[in-house]
Amino acid sequence: MVDSDERDPNTGRADSSGGRTEAASPPAEPDIDDLLAKLDALRDTVDEGHEREKVRQTISLVERMPGTGALAERITKYTSRDLAESFVGAVLFALPLLVEGGVFEIAAWFAATTVAGVPVLLIAHVGFIFLATAGLLYFADFRQIAIRHPIFGVIPRRYAGVLLVSLTTSAAMLLFWGRLHEGDPTALERFGRIAVVWAAAAFGAGLGDILPGESQGEDLGKFDLDIGDDD
């Protein structure tokens, strides 16, 4: 007869090795993020294409579950509608700067302030855009935003989307309004002009994306490449 202290405390079955079976401890207070993380891990371990599709369907079902309190403010999906909202926000915040001559002065200052030929202030400004955008999306607590299906497993899709949409919008608007090449600026000054407008556009794109809450539509994370799938 197997002694009770030789049974697995999780399954109640006897440990064939004669000792206790080590099991991963579940979170003390599991939440929806823990469940989605487990499902993501499961999706990465299955081999068959139809099995991965079943896991995707389960993840989609969990993400659509109605929430209350803080869960109702949580954003998990990233859709084409989010990209459109980012574009609108970027345009609204960039428009006032397109008629400001101060943009040219700041860009010239960025280009002129160098250390060993390196435009340190311009580089610092771009770094500020990256940090401020990350802070707005993930630390300002406007919404609880889940990082799902990051690009290359590292870069959050929403973060990359906000930055790219706002950068493209800034450059395009400066070009279309004839402000990018006005006064025959150097290439560095042109980039400086884009960077100045980009700072405001990125802030607007981030707010335009997250303030309305989670958007309806197909999650762009589902259009990833699952190399080796049979379906």
Structure tokens at 163: 């930055």
Using alpha carbons only, how large is the chain's radius of gyration in Å?
A: 24
pLDDT of res. 215: 61
Structure tokens at 35: 């469940």
| DSSP-assigned letters across all residues of the chain | ---GGGB-TTT-PBPTTSSPPP-PPPPSS--HHHHHHHHHHHHHH--SHHHHHHHHHHHHHHHTS---GGGGGEE----HHHHHHHHHHHHHHHHHHHT-THHHHHHHHHHH--BTTB-HHHHHHHHHHHHHHHHHHHTS-SSEE---S-BTTTB-HHHHHHHHHHHHHHHHHHHHTT-SSTT---HHHHHHHHHHHHHHHHHHHHHHHHTT-SPPS--GGGS---TT---
pLDDT of res. 3: 47
In contact, 215 and 82? CB cutoff 8 Å: yes
Question: For each of the chain's 231 residues, which pLDDT tens digit applies?
Answer: 444 444 444 444 444 444 444 445 556 656 556 666 766 777 667 666 666 777 676 766 665 555 434 444 566 677 788 899 999 999 999 999 998 889 999 999 999 999 998 999 999 999 999 999 999 888 876 666 767 677 887 888 889 999 999 999 999 999 999 999 998 899 999 999 999 999 999 999 999 888 776 666 666 665 444 433 333
Its sign, for the CA torsion 212, 216, 222, 223, is negative
pLDDT of res. 90: 96
pLDDT of res. 26: 58
Task: Name the β-bridge partners of 115.
Answer: 118
pLDDT of res. 139: 83
pLDDT of res. 8: 46
pLDDT of res. 146: 67
CA 62 – CA 125 distance, rounded (Å): 40
- Cα three-residue angle 112-171-220, rounded to 5 degrees: 130
